[in-house]
């Protein structure tokens, strides 16, 4: 019998409006054998969202039943609604020998890292607060009070940026897609040998530029635009 495939798990988190869904959609078109884990949520669908596509939209009682049946790898309460990653997505990825991409919040990311320390985590940041506000408005999906709440939450979420392996500053969309693709592909390369072809070297170089340790200086002005971090979160 062939050995069980251990899927690579990619976690992507971002303050709402940073462009995470846009990046994820493009990434999934570019990278083969990468499945998106469609989370369960108790929030209502927005705009053109469809059940089973962006999310499995379920009533609160059903979600709570699933928690009771231990069906989630992780779950969290975000903006007053439940969101969770079903265990079965990991099993299905294993069977298909695919890797798995999770779009989850900072609480979920922390839970996943505790359970699966090898998971690769990526935090998407907007170039600054003003741009984030503009993107939230441009999307025209949220009322003004919701936008205001998302901006306050964003300031809190970005305090956790340094718990992630990679930071992706989503300024120019094309460049961000290229960097995200490089992160995913570089993590698939064997660790036992140095990158060989020019293509592999380019991927590794591009991915390395987004590593937490190499990007801190570019992150600082972004944090400042959100009013800076409390002393406890500075390094
Ligand atoms: P999120 O999933 O993080 O909440 P979205 O992917 O919905 O964010 O993006 C929010 C808005 O910003 C959308 O209108 C999207 O088209 C736009 N957007 C995303 N990335 C960029 C970018 N790099 N430059 C300009 N606009 C962007
Ligand atoms: P939205 O309602 O804007 O689609 O998502 C709100 C937040 O919930 C985002 O930060 C998103 O990453 C997060 N989220 C989506 N699915 C999950 C999940 O399964 N688990 C956790 N912990 N967070 C999730």
CATH number at residue 160: 3.40.50.300
Q: Using a 6 Å CB cutoff, which residues line ligand 1? A: 14, 16-22, 135, 138-139, 170, 173, 176
Instruction: Flag whether pLDDT at 222 surpasses 60.
Output: yes
Among 211, 173, 204, smallest CA distance to 25 is for 173
Q: What's phi and psi for 109, nearest 5 deg?
A: -65, -40
Whole-number percent of the chain with pLDDT over 90: 80
Question: Is 51 contained in some domain?
Answer: no
Per the structure, how many domains does the chain have?
1
State the distance from the centre of ligand 1 to the C-alpha of 23, rounded, in angstroms: 8
State the distance from the centre of ligand 1 to the C-alpha of 228, rounded, in angstroms: 23
Residue 19 region by backbone torsions, left for phi larger than 0, else alpha for psi between -120 and 50, else beta: left
Q: What is the pLDDT of residue 227?
A: 87
The sheet that has 56-57: what strands, in order across it?
A: 56-57, 40-41, 81-86, 72-78
The pLDDT tens digits of the residues spanning 32-67 come to 999 999 999 999 998 889 999 999 999 999 999 999
Question: Is 15 contained in some domain?
Answer: yes
State pTM to two decimals. Answer: 0.94
Q: What is the pLDDT of residue 4?
A: 85
Q: Which domain holds residue 161?
A: 9-38+98-229
Instruction: Flag whether pLDDT at 235 surpasses 60.
Output: no
State the distance from the centre of ligand 1 to the C-alpha of 97, rounded, in angstroms: 31
Q: Which ligand is nearest to the CA of 20?
A: 1
What is the DSSP pairing of strand 40-41 with strand 56-57? parallel
Mean pLDDT of 95-108: 95
The pLDDT tens digits of the residues spanning 23-38 come to 999 999 999 999 999 9
Question: Is 207 contained in some domain?
Answer: yes
Instruction: Flag whether pLDDT at 233 surpasses 60.
Output: no
Question: Is 19 contained in some domain?
Answer: yes
What is the DSSP pairing of strand 120-125 with strand 166-169? parallel
Residue 80 region by backbone torsions, left for phi larger than 0, else alpha for psi between -120 and 50, else beta: left
């Amino acid at each position: 019998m062939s050995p069980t495939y251990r899927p690579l798990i990619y976690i992507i988190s971002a303050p709402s409006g940073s462009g995470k869904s846009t990046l994820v959609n493009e990434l999934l078109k570019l990278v083969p054998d990468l499945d998106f884990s469609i989370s369960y949520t108790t929030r209502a669908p927005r705009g053109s969202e469809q059940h089973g596509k962006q999310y499995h939209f379920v009533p609160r009682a059903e979600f709570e039943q699933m928690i009771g049946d231990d069906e989630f790898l992780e779950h969290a309460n975000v903006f007053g609604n439940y969101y969770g990653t079903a265990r079965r997505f990991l099993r299905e990825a294993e069977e298909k020998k695919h890797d798995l991409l999770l779009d989850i919040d900072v609480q979920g990311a922390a839970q996943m890292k505790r359970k699966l320390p090898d998971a690769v985590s990526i935090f998407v940041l907007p170039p600054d607060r003003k741009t984030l506000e503009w993107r939230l408005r441009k999307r025209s999906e949220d009322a003004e009070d919701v936008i205001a709440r998302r901006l306050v939450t964003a300031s809190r979420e970005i305090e956790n940026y340094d718990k992630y392996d990679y930071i992706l500053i989503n300024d120019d969309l094309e460049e961000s897609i290229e960097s995200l693709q490089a992160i995913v592909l570089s993590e698939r390369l064997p660790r036992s040998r140095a990158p060989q072809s020019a293509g592999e070297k380019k991927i590794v170089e591009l991915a390395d530029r987004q590593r937490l340790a190499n990007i801190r200086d570019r992150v600082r002005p972004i944090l400042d635009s959100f009013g800076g971090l409390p002393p406890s979160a500075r390094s």
